[in-house]
Structures are given as structure tokens and as C-alpha cells.
Structure 1
Amino acid sequence: MKASPSLLGGSCIIASVCVGAGMLGLPSAGAGAWTTWSIIAITLTMVVMTVSGWMLLEAFKHYDLRVSFNTVTKDMLGSKINNINNLAVYFVGGILLYAYITSSGLVLEGMLGISSKITSILFVLVFSTFVWHSTRAVDRISVVLIAFMVLTFVFGVSGLAVNIDASVLFDTIAKENSYAPYAMAMLPVALTSFGYHHSVSSMRAYYGEENRAKQAILGGTVIALVLYLLWLLSIYGNLPRNQFGPVIEQGGNVDVLLSALGSVVASDKVTNAINSFSMAALLSSFIGVGLGVFDFIADLFKFEDTKQGRTKSWAVTFLPPLIMSLLFPFGFVIAIGYAGAAATVWACIIPAMLAYKSRTREGGEEGFKAPGGNAMIGLVIAFGVFTAIFHIMAMMGMLPAFLG
């Protein structure tokens, strides 16, 4: 009998999908809300997004292990809703890959002194190979990357943590204290920070059943939450709130955030550890998101699991975001915000609708069920709708914008 894959491996895949966007986007997105309200926004988002992932698992239980969003949504909710969902899934996956490719190119340009366009191309050609090869290869590299991230994170964060200044962390030096309104504009980025949902079908196929996949999802979101909180506390305790102005002005780009951090950290070793951690976070998320989009594309277009079929899936997954990154590089947090608004469709609204539909089916109450009953379904949909509305309001200048 074949041994079931480890929960650690699955949790690492889920955590690595989450962590890149969140680690590098949240400090700038939460600069207005600052410490307390950022923590509240992130924790609330983690709970809702974990439950919505379980709702997807509940809907998938009626189908064989190779299906993904496309097949299930089309069967349960019809072609029109499925087409909207497919567009949202591909848009979010594509814009996240675009953000990672652009940011890694900028960070590598600073490290290697080579043009960011060349480093972006090399980054994609080298690291998308793991996704093209197999889920097992992604599991292996994810565990290695998470281990490397933990080491550099511990070193970098401990270097920051010993210098945390409580007056900076809780911004007691500022005259303005109305932080709560800024948390609304932060929610789309927080939602993207837990946007692992395109990997739910991959997890289910990987474990061959729902309960272990559920545990891996929870393990992954808990790991991500703990890392986010440690990271935010360390940054907000060192880099004063009013010094986020230049970072926000540049669209929250990772290279600008890293140079701002470098200017307030005395130790070169700590700065190098933070830079290495950031690069590993980008890479792990790139591979994790790439796997989810790759499996989604294979199911959507019915590409076979052969070298030729996987190459087609690879091309549709990675080439459009790479081309867009080379032609139109723009702000990291801006891109993540767009992703968050669109992600509300397939990370909150569709999973809740699928779970509701699943329960009305014959045998729908049997087997795996997400907790909270129909009340939880309503709450998850409401969270998604309000998050999208907040993003639109922020874009139209109807929410307070923090400029440093």
C-alpha cells in the first residue's frame, strides 16, 4: 500500500502559496492601519479564508480526484457563473505570477547587477521547471524553501525584533490616531495573502481524500498567519509609520521596501537575511501559485498529463504573465490589490455557493462538511462582497488613503 504524503509537505505547499504575496505586500498595505488594526484584519481574513477552502473541499467530494474548479463549478452552478469564475481564477493567478516575476526581477537586479527584464526571464525559465515536472517536485522544493525561509526569517526577524521600539510599534509619536478606516483598504491585500484556493483540488488529489487535505489547509494557513504577525511586528517596530511614504509612492514595490528597511537596520547581516528571505518568499509563492494555475489550466483545456500536454499547460500558465511583466511593470501592492478584489469571487463567493449547492444534493449531508452551517456560508459571501466593495471604493478615492 502506497504511503500517504506527509501533512507537513501539504501544509508547506499551502503556506508557500500564501506567504509571498502577504509577506511583501502586507507591510505597505497595512501602513495606514498600523499594528493593532492590521493584526485584526489579517486574523479575521485567515479564519474566513480557511473555512472557504474547506467549503471547496466539501463541494469537490462528489467528484473524482482529478477535477478542479472548472468542472465542479460548471456542473453545480452552470456555464455562465463558471465562465465568470474561470476568468477570475486565471486573472488572479496571472496577476500574482506577474507581480512575483516583476518583483523578483527588480530584487535580483539589485543583487546581481543584471537588467531586471533578463533576470525576470531567467527566473521564470529556471523555477517554473519544478511545476512542469510534478506536484511531488513542488512539494520537495517547497519544503526546502520554507526551511530556508524559516532560517533567514529567524535571523532577519530576530535582528529586527531585538530593536523593536514600542513607541514606533504602536505609533505613540504620531498625533493622528484614527487607524481603523485604513484597515478596510487593507482587506483585499490580506485576502490575497491567504489566496491558496486554486490549490485545494491539488491538495485533495495529492492526499486522495478530504480530511487530510483539510488538515493540510489549516496547517498552511496557521503557518502563514504566524509568519505574517511576526514579520509585521518586526517591521512596524523598526520602520516608523511616516517613513512608508516613499514605499507607498512606488506602489509598494518590494525593492523599495527592502531599501527602506536597510536604512533603519544597523547590521548588514540582518539586511542580507531579510533580502534572502524576501527572495525565497517570492520564489516559493511563484512555484505554489504556478502549480495551482497549471492544474487549473490542464483541467480547463483538458491537456493530457504527458510531456507535450504539460508543456502546453506550462505555456498558458507562465508566458502571459512574463510578457506582461516585461511590457508593463508596475507596483506590487497595486497588483496584489487588483488580485484581492477579483479573488473574492473564487475565494469566498463561489466556494460558499458550491457548499450550499452541495448540501442540497442527494447524499450532500454525508461525508466531509465545512463547519458553521448555512450561517457561515452567508458570512463568507458577505466578507467577499465587502472586500471587493472596499477595493473599488479605495480606487475611487472614497476611502482614506495613507500616504506616509
Structure 2
Amino acid sequence: MNLKIVGSIAIVAGTAIGAGMLALPLATAAMGLIPALLLMLVVWAISAYTALLMLEVNLRSGIGDNLHLITGKSLGSKGQIVQSLSFLSLLFALTAAYLTGGADLLALKAKAWFDIELSNQTAVLLFTFVLGGFAALGVHWIDKISRALFSTMIVLLALVLVFLLPEVSLDALAQRAATNSLTAVWLSAIPVVVTSFGFHVCIATLVRYLDGDVPTLRRVLLIGSTIPLFCYVLWLLVTLGTVGGEAIAGFNGSLSRLISALQEISSQPLISKVIGLFADLALVTSFLGVTMSLFDFNAELIRASNTVSGRIQTWLLTFMPPLVCALFVPEGFIALLGFAAVPLVVITVFLPVLIALKQRAERHDGYQVAGGNFTLGLLLLLGGAIIGAQLYVAI
């Protein structure tokens, strides 16, 4: 396996692994370990299959085409409008989620390091204006920063797993929080888990990077999507098996309370710091990648000039809507990640299925993912169920 393939696998895995990983224990704790693992396995299977479906539509449309162009070719301008609005909604929701989670962790750091109590509003504003400023630097600088941070995060994750796995208790793993409605627990967890497997935005780039080599691309997507599953399983074992599902469910979605609880388990101060730093990097790397994409999308949308004033306008459009949301929904980390599943399903399920049906009706040559039209119909039903779950939670 050459370095080009290894790098491509890392891109797929790295796009998925991030702040969503921190949310998984908070979203699934009330379910119990076995149901949570089963849910993750099903969502992984869906995400892997839709990745191969997106590979099919990319190859049939033409190597080098992005999703916007592919959608336009098959579904016209109306399809492109749906795709653009879904993409914008996804990035806004993720940015707002990371602002709330980042503010939560920043307040925790201020208390632990300087014994300063930061209000939620102050923490949100500090996180936005300090880290949000990187979005205006451009892709060249963010790429360098993100690669260094992500590499460090993976090393820290390995250390956290090594030191906390021996602390896992079978009694803690067997815990399941008391709940009035197990159905509501499942429905609230599904969208968050779906968002945690969202790596599909990089597929068009990889098709171009690997010159449309189907066997290599299939291997990259399947291996790259399996690595997050493996990491998530270990992460759930560590969190649910040490803190306990009942305790985590009682955190009410608070990221700082989860990290504090994990830090208290380790008797070694160094490991406690490693846990905190891992959580910080997981959120920051996701934040930088999402806000870079949103900044570039908005710059193209308003045709902003590459000047100081133009970048300020784009920055305001990028951060003001999610900032307002983060200020007024301080406990919205899990809720916003759940909402992000709705536009994500549109982008990764509905649009690819419709495009594939159109392409298959017009031509039969080239790569086609197994399963036929029956599986495409099943995907539409599953996508509708995921959106229905999120709407149920929201209502």
C-alpha cells in the first residue's frame, strides 16, 4: 500500500473523527453499551454504502466534478439550490455546535488553570473571536495547522485509550440510565451518530486525486470509514466503562462535565492533562475544517473580494449566525449536532440516490455499487427515518 493510498485513507478517517466523537457518549449513554454499538454498526454500514454510491455518481459524471456540478448535470438548477442550501445549513449547524462545545471547554480551562469563572456568553465570544480568526487566514495556513493538530490528537487518543482501558469496569458497562421513554432515547441518539460518520464531502477530491482508480477508491473508502468505527467503539468502552452510562446521561449533554469526569478517573495528573488536551484538539480540528469550508463557500456566494474589507464581510457572514445561536442556546452542543444530520442526509443520501437513478436510466456502463434500485429505495426510507427521528426530538 503506497503513501498516496495511506494518505487518502487518513483523509477519510480524519474527516469523520473529530468533535462528533466527543458527543457519542453523551448521546448514547442512556441506551446502554450493546444498543449503542449496534446503532453505530448500522450507521457505519449506511455511511459506507452511501460513500460507494457517491463514488459511482462521481465517476459517471466525470473525474474532477464536485457535488454541485454533478447535481446540476443530473437534477438541474433546482437540485443545485437544494444542494447548496443543505451544504450551508450543515456547516452553519456544525459551526454553532462547535462554538457551544468550545465555549464549554474554554470555561472549564479558565476555572482549572486560572480559577476564573467565565460566563457562557463570555466564553462563546472569546472562542469565536480567537479561534474564528483562523478562518480568514485561508486554506494554506489552516491546512498546515490542522495536519499538525490532527496528528497530535491521534497520538493523544491512543494514550487516553491505553491508560483508561484498564480502568474499564464491567459493572459500569452494564449500566443503563433509567428513562421514561426508550424510544425517545433512540430517536435522539440516531442523528448524532449519523453526523459522527460524515466524511462524504471529501469523496470528489479523492476521485480526482486517485485518478478514478475504482479498486483503490473502494478500498480507501471502506478502510477509511472503518477506522472511525473502530475508534468510536473503543471510545465508548472507555467512557461508558469508566464513568458509567447512568452518570453520563445525567450530564445533560455537557461536554465539560464529561471531560471532568474522565479526568477524575486517572490518578496521574499527566494523564488528566492528556485527556483534556485530546478533547480540546478533537473540537478545534473539526472547528477549523468546518469554518474554513464555510468561509470559502460564503466568499464565493457573495463574490467577496480578496481584500481586508472583503474578508471581514465574509467572516461576519460566516460567524454571526452560528454565534447568535451559540449565545442563546448554551446547552446546544448535542442538539445542534443532531440537527446537522438533516442536511447531511440530504447531501449524502437523497441527492446521490436521485442522481444515481437518473444516471442509471441514461447509461449502464462504468462502476455501479451493488444492490440495485431496491437498495436505493431502502436508502431513501432510512434517510427519511433519520430525518424523522431528528424532527421528533426537535418537536
Task: Tell me if the contact between 2:23 and 2:334 (Cα under 8 Å) persists in the aligned partners.
Answer: yes
- Paired with 1:121 and 1:186, the residues of 2 have a C-alpha distance of 31
Q: How does 1:246-395 map to 2 (within 5 A)?
A: 246-248=250-252, 252-290=253-291, 292-293=293-294, 315=315, 318-320=318-320, 323-324=323-324, 327-330=327-330, 331-362=332-363, 365-395=364-394
CA apart distance, 1:44: 1.0
Q: 2:77 is matched with which residue?
A: 79
Task: Provide Cα deviations, 1:196-229, integer angstroms capped at 9, x if missing partner.
Answer: 2223223333334253444333333112111111
Counterpart code for 2:378: L
Query: Where does the alignment leave 5 or more consecutive residues of structure 1 unmatched?
Result: 397-404
Post-superposition Cα deviations, 1:77-116, rounded to whole Å, max 9, x if no partner, equal 2333432332122101211122123322332343256742
Assess, with a 3 A threshold, how the Cα gap between structure 1 residues 155 and 199 changes in structure 2: closer, same or farther: same
Listed one character per residue, the Cα deviations across residues 359-382 of structure 1 (whole Å, up to 9, x for unaligned) are 1223xx333322322232122222
Secondary structure of 1:367 counterpart:
coil
- In structure 2, do the counterparts of structure 1 residues 314 and 96 end up closer, same or farther at CA, with 3 Å as the change threshold? same
Aligned residue in 2 for 1:133: 139
C-alpha change, 1:267 and 1:279, in structure 2 (3 Å) is same
Specify the alignment match of 1:39 in structure 2: 37
Note closer, same or farther for the CA distance 1:176–1:186 as it changes in structure 2 (3 Å cut). Answer: closer
Q: Which residue matches 1:106? A: 104
Output the CA distance in 2 between the equivalents of 1:357 and 1:316.
39
| 5+ long unaligned stretches in structure 2 | 111-115
Q: State the distance in 2 between where 1:52 and 1:379 align.
A: 12
Secondary structure at 1:369 match in 2: coil
RMSD: 3.3
Match of residue 67 from structure 1: 65
Shift of residue 33 of structure 1?
Answer: 1.2
Note the C-alpha offset of 1:177: 12
Shift in Å, 1:71:
2.2
Distance 2:368 2:249 in 1: 46
Distance 2:65 2:164 in 1: 44
Q: CA deviation at 1:185?
A: 2.8
**For 1:5 and 1:299, how far apart are their aligned partners in 2?**
33
Q: Which residue of 1 aligns with 2:241?
A: 237
- The reply to whether residue 119 of structure 1 matches residue 127 of structure 2 is yes
Matching of residues 90-239 of structure 1 within 5 Å: 90-112=88-110, 115-116=122-123, 117-126=125-134, 128=135, 132-134=138-140, 141-171=145-175, 182-209=185-212, 211=214, 212-239=216-243
CA distance in 2, matches of 1:391, 1:67: 31
What is the DSSP-based 3-state SS (H/G/I as helix, E as strand, rest coil) of the residue aligned with 2:30? Answer: coil
Q: Map of 1:19-30 to 2, 5 A cutoff?
A: 19-30=17-28
Distance in 1 between residues matched to 2:192 and 2:180, nearest whole Å: 22
CA distance in 1, matches of 2:51, 2:316: 25
Deviation (angstroms), 1:279: 1.3
SS in 1 for 2:243: coil
Aligned to 1:401: none
**Given the superposition, is the C-alpha separation of residues 18 and 247 from structure 1 closer, same or farther in structure 2, using an over 3 Å criterion?**
same
Inter-partner Cα distance in structure 1 for 2:269 and 2:289: 30
Structure 1 counterpart of 2:324, which letter? M
In the other structure, the counterpart of 2:8 is 10
TM-score (norm 1): 0.82
C-alpha separation between the residues in 2 aligned to 1:371 and 1:138? 38
Task: Give the number of the structure whose residues are more often helix, by fraction.
Answer: 2
Q: Give, in angstroms, the shift of residue 334 of structure 1.
A: 0.7
Could you tell me how far apart the structure 1 residues matched to 2:356 and 2:284 are?
33
Alpha carbons 2:23, 2:192 under 8 Å: kept: yes
Flag the 1:322–1:385 CA change in 2: closer, same or farther, 3 A. closer
Query: Using a 3 Å threshold, how does the CA distance of structure 1 residues 43 and 96 change in structure 2: closer, same or farther?
Result: same
Give the number of aligned pairs: 382
Q: Hey, what's the Cα distance between the residues in 1 that align with 2:299 and 2:354?
A: 24
Match of 1:118, as an amino acid?
Answer: L
